[in-house]
A = this chain, B = another copy of it.
Amino acid sequence: MADSWVGLAGRIGSDLHLDLEAGGRGSRRAVLGRALREAIRDGRLAPGTLLPPYRSLAADLGLARNTVAETYAELVAEGWLVARQGSGTRVAPRAKPAGSPRTPKAAPARSDPPAHDLRQGLPDPSSFPRAAWLASARRALNAAPGEAFGPGDPRGRAELRRALAEYLARVRGVRTDPGTIVVCSGSAHALRLLFSGKVLRGPLAVESYGLPFHRSILQAARVRTVPLALDEHGARTTDLAESKGVRAALLTPAHQFPTGGPLAPERRAAAVDWARAGGGVLLEDDYDGEFRYDREPVGAVQGLDPQRVVYLGSVSKSLSPALRLGWMVLPEHLVEPVLRAKGEREAWAGVTDQLTLADFIESGRYDRHIRRTRQRYRDRRDRLVDMLARRAPHIAPTGIAAGLHAVLRLPPGTERSVTKAAARQRIALDGLAHFRHPAADAPAEDGLVVGYAAPADHAYGAALDALCRILPPPSGTV
């Protein structure tokens, strides 16, 4: 018996020595506890092993007896060791996990980054205005009242809702006051709250081309979606009156996503008329309303009737999708139901970013940032259009008056082979088929959705070049 624990003390001693050398923060007791846990984890101290009396170990290691005694007690409290009166302290039978000592497994492999990133919807990450954002953060955090760091208003910080109410009225023609704005993490979060939280019910009319992740959120909420046909005037909202049972419609009026046109005035009016006549609700996804190049922005439909429209916006295109910061402007009667659906502990944007964005907007930094990036994306769009005119004049870019992407119309039947070629060349982009509602009536059209904002400046030329090389030749030349 004496022999066995003397040997063990030696082993523990040397292990501990190693760990004491390796350092790490904390008292000697903390270091000793860590070393013992490690030895048990690794299997160096097997379940059932008798530990040396704390006096012996203390002597071997040159530690105070109390230090070792307290460490033992602590590991007993944590379930690593068991102590029985008169029979000493042993490694607990279940302390070693089933299976062999675990070597940390590599993180699940993520796919390699693309050679050229022409995905839609992504702003150039290098355009994030770090210095200006930090300046606003400093000002906002220093000025914030203490209660800002308490549990807070589930609608989001009042500072931000005030700034947004003023900004959205000025820039997007949205009619609101801070009481009807609810801060969230973006349009996906908003749709989940509205439909999984049963604030709104389906069936929901959606544009026959739209974001697949919107459809999957709605599917998860068991909301049936009914596709609305699109034509050169945008979504055929005039069909809403004939869609039996539809209670809400999700639209992208400023810039149809992804095909790119604004909703025609009479279609805007028809949508509002439908909502008024039948108690319906319009969801206006104003995902890139600030980025219009060839004329002033088209104002929000929300301004036509704030009591019939839920307006959704975010900073995902204007600043960064990584901020996870967005907002809903709600009809008054929906504010309380949304807050109930959100719940007091629901995920929402952190207070530091909310306060920072409020200052960023009110200081005029947001306007300046938008102007700068708008100019930059306009230049990129022009380069794309020029490149096509020179190298692929048979391919018509459409939806180019606004946004961070264009649609390249392809000859019928060619989209699949082109997107396959893109995948082979590691060009990240999607074909129109990716966005098409599975129940859409009209025949599928061939096209590529080309985002021109994501690549860094130095990489954009090469990305355009790679794109041109996978485009199909003019028909008749093959």
Chain A contact residues, CB within 8 Å of chain B: 24-26, 29-30, 33-34, 37, 41, 70, 74, 76-80, 82, 92-95, 97-99, 102, 104-108, 110, 122, 125-126, 128, 130, 133-134, 137-138, 141-142, 144, 146-153, 155, 170, 173, 175, 177-179, 184-189, 213, 216-217, 262, 265-266, 268-269, 272-273, 276, 295-296, 298-299, 301, 303-308, 319-325, 332, 335-336, 343-353, 356, 364, 367, 454, 456
Question: A82 — which chain B residues lie within 8 A by C-beta?
Answer: 265
Whether A304 and B213, one on each chain, are in contact in the complex, defined by CB atoms closer than 8 angstroms, is no
Whether A153 and B110, one on each chain, are in contact in the complex, defined by CB atoms closer than 8 angstroms, is yes
Whether A347 and B345, one on each chain, are in contact in the complex, defined by CB atoms closer than 8 angstroms, is no
A393 to chain B, nearest CB (A): 29
- Which of the residues B70, B299, B352 comes within 8 Å of A133, measured between beta carbons? B352
A452 to chain B, nearest CB (A): 15
A37 to B173, CA, bound (A): 8
A216 to B343, CA, bound (A): 10
A476 to B471, CA, bound (A): 92
- Which of the residues B108, B179, B306, B353 comes within 8 Å of A350, measured between beta carbons? B353
Whether B217 and A343, one on each chain, are in contact in the complex, defined by CB atoms closer than 8 angstroms, is yes
Shortest Cβ distance from A92 into B: residue:
B269
Whether A148 and B125, one on each chain, are in contact in the complex, defined by CB atoms closer than 8 angstroms, is yes
Whether A34 and B306, one on each chain, are in contact in the complex, defined by CB atoms closer than 8 angstroms, is no
Question: A178 — which chain B residues lie within 8 A by C-beta?
Answer: 107
| Residue from A93, A322, A325 having most chain B Cβ neighbours under 10 A | A322
Whether A78 and B298, one on each chain, are in contact in the complex, defined by CB atoms closer than 8 angstroms, is yes
Whether A348 and B347, one on each chain, are in contact in the complex, defined by CB atoms closer than 8 angstroms, is yes
- Which of the residues B77, B130, B151 comes within 8 Å of A141, measured between beta carbons? B130
Q: Known interface pairs A186-B345, A303-B37. Does A125 touch B107 (Cβ–Cβ under 8 Å)?
A: no
Question: A344 — which chain B residues lie within 8 A by C-beta?
Answer: 213
Whether A322 and B94, one on each chain, are in contact in the complex, defined by CB atoms closer than 8 angstroms, is no
Shortest Cβ distance from A130 into B: residue:
B141
A179 to B109, CA, bound (A): 10
